[in-house]
Chains A and B, each alone.
Chain A
Amino acid sequence: MLPDLKKIISRIDADYSDLRYEIKNETRITFRGEEINQLSSNTTDGYVLRVLKNGGLSTIAFTNLKELEKAIFTVCENAALSARHSSSAFKLAPVNALADRFIPELDEDPANVSIDEKLDLTRKYNSIPMKEKNILTTYLEYLEVARHKFFVSTDGLEIEEKITINRINGLITSSDGHFMQNIRVGIGGSNGFSTLRNQEDEFTERTALVLQLLDAKPVQAGTYDVVLNQSLAGVFTHEAFGHFSEADLIQNNPSMRTKMQTGAKLGNDVLNIIDDPTIPDQLGFYKYDDEGIAARPTQLLKNGVLVGRLHSRYTAADFNEPVNGHCVAEDYRFAPIIRMGTIFIQPGGQSEDELLYELKDGLYILDAIGGQTSGENFTFGAQYGYIVRNGKISDMIRDINITGNLYNTLQNIVIVGNDLKLSRIGGCGKGQLNIRSCHGAPHVLVKGVVIGGV
């Protein structure tokens, strides 16, 4: 495949071009309550061609080689338009030529597991909540996505890589006849099917929690000191801070770019944040990004000081900073954009109990249900929580949503725990969906957080 792709880009009249061909295998098994809603296993493929010409950059995605000539014509025409309408010429950071083939060894490749076994396992986990009296329904999905990628560029990159994830995740809904509560549940990862086995406890625990939520009280809106568990602190790291360490999000926003200069003291001294897609066996693991650049661990915040950011070749050239392999596409339909791989707050020294003791009075809130950011402001939801009185957990609370200002919150994280945990389910929707997006943190104590309540 790689020689055929090289032949194609060699005849494009441009200063630089790259071409990615991908084969994607996707298997889905979906339950809605007791009923199976979908079972399918399919293969699709496609091409993404990117051209830099006379300072203009453009991308086209196309389905098959019958469209190649039209695609080349369109992308070159668009690159010329880009050159005419851009205030400065696009440049890509230089890289050294490299050829590599990376097919990671999985602990049970899901491609070798029968669809019947996948169905049985999903059914088994689905039956755990469904057998309970006050469980109204479930939505549970087995998803397996394997991207087999072939990438070539005119500056000598030739990369073949296959990355696979599988997961079982969804929603469990409880009802007491009048009132509903739901809770997310999920297991998964990028290191093979074995990660999905023997996970009954996860489904049992989540079922118990969603039943308890029927008796929880809504949180009172206000400003609180809080301890966030690993999942919530991880979502904060991803949403509030991580996105603004993605260079493309601040590149053309002068006020954000000024604020996010390297060397700026943004956070409390206790705070260290890194993005490292090279940690093996984690959801966010990969070796090369979709520009063919080797992924590198990138320290972003060190003792509260901004020391790095995530780059594509284009932004690395613009910021005059090193590339670090963080430019990733959802699949063959998209140009790559800057994404986090595995971002996390690095652990400190104190235990969860010590954090609750230091909190004294406030809230202990757990498990993220999505988040969103808009520059300095962020909002994310929590699955459940507890009121903490004098360092002791008491009443369970629900309907918790948090909002805050990035810079204030980075300063207000006053203690970082020692119990780092990384997420097993991803799903970042920055224009494209990144199901491999991985984040994590230890427990953290944050002062003065705005909670919306209901």
Chain B
Amino acid sequence: MEKILQEAMKKSDQAEVFSSEATTNILNYENGMLKDIESTIEKGISLRIIKNKRLGFAYTRNIHTENDLIANALQSLKGGIDAPFTFPSPGEIKNLNTWDPECENLSNTTIAEECQRVNELFAQKTAGQVNISTGFTYSTLRIMNNRRTDLSVRSSLFFMNISLLYPESYAGLRRLHLSKGFTPVPAELIDELVTIYKSSEKQVYPKSGLLKVLFLPEVFYILGWRLQSATNCVNIYQRQSPLVDKIGLPVFNNQLSVVNDPRNDHRPGARAFDDEGTPCCYLPLIENGVVSNFYNDLDYAEKLKTKSTGTGFRGGVLSGEIFATKPQPQLQHLGVLPGKKSWQEMLASIDRGIIISGALGAHSGNIPNGDYSIGLSPGLYVENGEIVGRVKDAMIAGNIYSTLKNIISIEDHQSATLFGYYPSILCDQISFAVKN
């Protein structure tokens, strides 16, 4: 990396080298049977250069072609991409505990045995089909630039994603178990899933109309996706957000607080600096319903004449290898702060409503406008505080700027999901359509 940086600086005004290495093992179980084991050992390197305030970007997996890497970055300058920013000098970086030393010794056999135990526990309690995707990954990132920034982080992660499926379907109840190193799945997680599953086995046929809807943590991403779009400085810069001029205004219900908390190292994947070497910080986006901050990277911070929020990250869902993508504003440590009600209290408060545990089509619809319209997969129907069954062929639809105003209550506990840490959120007056 040092040599690449040195050579790149001979041909540019600024340079940054980013490298990543990761080893990953994934085991997939379907219906109690091991379906496949896949491993990856991958590494790659990328280079950003700035010359005459223009940006060049290149990457490779094969570090023996460093001359090609520099040549590709120089060719990339042809785009004339504006780069008004400066790579950061070394900042104050918080020391975080992101690494479980045991992870390098963790074997797939240990994980397979844990899956066997979990599958057996489910089999004792339910005949429902259980699918498990589990595994562990350990990775190292390093960032160097011409201003003497030289940062690295080692991270480890163990995950187990459990699905309990309804018959003739992949609709089901899901829970994610996450930790920095291997930890057994808690019995409560299994019991919770089984209890909800058993109460919703029967198919029921409620009528369409405006209902209370309880968004479980696993589906908050439907609303969160639109919220991220609205608070992303790319969209603020392009004035493609309903929140453009709303900083300091109470746009949402005052129970709602949304924060990005990358430095919380009780959770796996904590980061003290982003993928551009900017120190990360606790960043509230919504505080008690009031819009408080937008998030950016070096580029959009400069374009909007503000400071970087330390949220310039690479990669993302289905976006390719981490080193092969340019940093852009991303919230990779998002959460909604817990409220005051227990889950049972929230359930008891629903006279007639739907619990959404899984959604289809969250990626379609007018996301910048905040609209959503999703198929329920599944939707659990509630009457008089009790789950009475499961709904099929049904959708809910709305807009986050009304849905998140109509919050009735927020759960007093956050759960890990694939997209952040969220409590359940109960909202009123949501449009529900079902096949008659």
Q: Do A and B bind each other?
A: yes
A-to-B contact residues, CB < 8 Å:
26, 29, 32-33, 35-46, 57-64, 67, 70-71, 74-75, 77-79, 81-82, 84-87, 115-116, 119, 136-137, 173, 175, 179-182, 221-223, 249, 251-256, 259, 333-335, 369-381, 398-401, 403-405, 408, 429, 432-433, 448, 450-454
Say whether B184 faces chain A, with CB atoms less than 8 Å apart.
Answer: no
Q: How far is the CB of B66 from chain A (nearest CB, A)?
A: 13
Say whether B345 faces chain A, with CB atoms less than 8 Å apart.
Answer: no
Q: Is the CB of B433 within 8 A of A222?
A: yes
Q: Which chain B residues numbered 333 to 360 have a C-beta less than 8 Å away from chain A?
A: 358, 360
Q: Is the CB of A399 within 8 A of B44?
A: no
Q: Is the CB of A374 within 8 A of B358?
A: yes
Q: How far is the CB of A48 from chain B (nearest CB, A)?
A: 9
Contacts of B101 in A (CB 8 A): none
- Other-chain residue from B25, B61, B76, B397 in contact with A454 (beta carbon distance below 8 A): B397
User: Which residue of chain B has its CB nearest to the CB of A116?
Assistant: B78
Known: A32-B238, A38-B326, A81-B109. A453 touches B78 (CB 8 A): no
User: Which residue of chain A has its CB nearest to the CB of B167?
Assistant: A255
Bound-complex Cα distance A369 to B35 (A): 32
Query: Which 10 interchain pairs have the tightest Cβ spacing?
Result: A381-B364, A39-B79, A379-B375, A375-B169, A452-B395, A252-B30, A401-B373, A379-B361, A379-B360, A403-B375
Bound-complex Cα distance A372 to B398 (A): 19
Bound-complex Cα distance A87 to B436 (A): 43
* Contact stretch, chosen from B52-60, B144-152, B270-278: B52-60
Known: A137-B238, A222-B433, A380-B364. A40 touches B169 (CB 8 A): no
Q: How far is the CB of B221 from chain A (nearest CB, A)?
A: 13
Bound-complex Cα distance A74 to B435 (A): 51
Contacts of A87 in B (CB 8 A): 32-33
Binary contact readout B422-436 vs A (1 if CB under 8 angstroms, 0 otherwise): 000000000101111
Bound-complex Cα distance A98 to B165 (A): 42
Bound-complex Cα distance A209 to B40 (A): 45
Q: Is the CB of B41 within 8 A of A253?
A: no
Q: Is the CB of A44 within 8 A of B433?
A: no
Q: Is the CB of A61 within 8 A of B62?
A: no
User: Which residue of chain A has its CB nearest to the CB of B82?
Assistant: A35
Contacts of A36 in B (CB 8 A): 79-82
Q: Is the CB of B365 within 8 A of A40?
A: no
Q: How far is the CB of B15 from chain A (nearest CB, A)?
A: 15
Contacts of B168 in A (CB 8 A): 255-256, 259, 375-376
User: Which residue of chain B has its CB nearest to the CB of A371?
Assistant: B361
Most buried by A among B41, B165, B377: B41
- Other-chain residue from A33, A62, A137, A381 in contact with B365 (beta carbon distance below 8 A): A381
Q: Is the CB of B360 within 8 A of A373?
A: yes
Say whether B13 faces chain A, with CB atoms less than 8 Å apart.
Answer: no
Contacts of B82 in A (CB 8 A): 35-36
- Other-chain residue from B39, B112, B318, B393 in contact with A450 (beta carbon distance below 8 A): B393
Binary contact readout B104-127 vs A (1 if CB under 8 angstroms, 0 otherwise): 000011001000100000000000
Contacts of B258 in A (CB 8 A): none
Bound-complex Cα distance A433 to B316 (A): 13
Q: How far is the CB of B100 from chain A (nearest CB, A)?
A: 20
Contacts of A82 in B (CB 8 A): 34, 36-37
Q: Is the CB of A401 within 8 A of B395?
A: yes
- Other-chain residue from B33, B434, B435 in contact with A448 (beta carbon distance below 8 A): B435
Q: Which chain B residues numbered 7 to 56 have a C-beta less than 8 Å away from chain A?
A: 25, 30-44
Q: How far is the CB of A230 from chain B (nearest CB, A)?
A: 18
Contacts of A62 in B (CB 8 A): 40-42
Q: Is the CB of A63 within 8 A of B79?
A: no
Contacts of B431 in A (CB 8 A): 221, 452-454
Q: Is the CB of A453 within 8 A of B109?
A: no
Say whether B399 faces chain A, with CB atoms less than 8 Å apart.
Answer: yes
Bound-complex Cα distance A396 to B60 (A): 48
Q: Is the CB of A378 within 8 A of B373?
A: no
Most buried by A among B30, B36, B80, B239: B36
Bound-complex Cα distance A452 to B362 (A): 12
Contacts of B165 in A (CB 8 A): 253, 375
Known: A61-B39, A173-B240, A401-B373. A377 touches B30 (CB 8 A): no
Contacts of A454 in B (CB 8 A): 365, 371, 373, 397-399, 431
Count B interface residues, CB 8 Å.
81
Q: Is the CB of B361 within 8 A of A42?
A: no
Bound-complex Cα distance A228 to B89 (A): 56
Say whether B191 faces chain A, with CB atoms less than 8 Å apart.
Answer: no
Contacts of A64 in B (CB 8 A): 61-62
Q: How far is the CB of A331 from chain B (nearest CB, A)?
A: 9
Say whether B282 faces chain A, with CB atoms less than 8 Å apart.
Answer: no
Q: Is the CB of B433 within 8 A of A452?
A: yes
Bound-complex Cα distance A82 to B30 (A): 13
- Other-chain residue from A29, A37, A377 in contact with B377 (beta carbon distance below 8 A): A377
Q: Is the CB of A86 within 8 A of B44?
A: no
Contacts of A38 in B (CB 8 A): 57, 79, 81, 326
- Other-chain residue from B36, B368, B393, B397 in contact with A180 (beta carbon distance below 8 A): B368
User: Which residue of chain A has its CB nearest to the CB of B38?
Assistant: A59
Q: Is the CB of A253 within 8 A of B33?
A: no
Q: How far is the CB of B245 from chain A (nearest CB, A)?
A: 12
User: Which residue of chain A has its CB nearest to the CB of B168?
Assistant: A255
Bound-complex Cα distance A175 to B368 (A): 11
Say whether B2 faces chain A, with CB atoms less than 8 Å apart.
Answer: no
Q: Which chain B residues numbered 358 to 401 have a C-beta less than 8 Å away from chain A?
A: 358, 360-366, 368-369, 371, 373-377, 392-399
Bound-complex Cα distance A335 to B167 (A): 28
Contacts of B205 in A (CB 8 A): none
Q: Is the CB of A44 within 8 A of B61?
A: yes
- Other-chain residue from B35, B39, B392 in contact with A405 (beta carbon distance below 8 A): B392
Bound-complex Cα distance A39 to B48 (A): 12
Bound-complex Cα distance A221 to B392 (A): 16
Q: Is the CB of A41 within 8 A of B76?
A: yes
Known: A36-B81, A40-B58, A403-B360. A381 touches B373 (CB 8 A): yes
Q: How far is the CB of A135 from chain B (nearest CB, A)?
A: 11
Q: Is the CB of B369 within 8 A of A29?
A: no
Report 5 cross-chain contacts, Cβ distance below 8 Å, ordered by A residue: A36-B79, A42-B59, A42-B72, A374-B358, A399-B365
Contacts of A222 in B (CB 8 A): 208, 433
Contacts of B31 in A (CB 8 A): 252-254
Bound-complex Cα distance A115 to B36 (A): 41
Contacts of B434 in A (CB 8 A): 450
Q: Which chain B residues numbered 295 to 341 have a C-beta less than 8 Å away from chain A?
A: 318, 321, 324, 326
Q: Is the CB of B78 within 8 A of A137?
A: no
Q: How far is the CB of B118 from chain A (nearest CB, A)?
A: 13
Q: How far is the CB of B21 from chain A (nearest CB, A)?
A: 9
Q: Is the CB of A401 within 8 A of B374?
A: yes
Bound-complex Cα distance A29 to B326 (A): 12
Bound-complex Cα distance A46 to B37 (A): 19
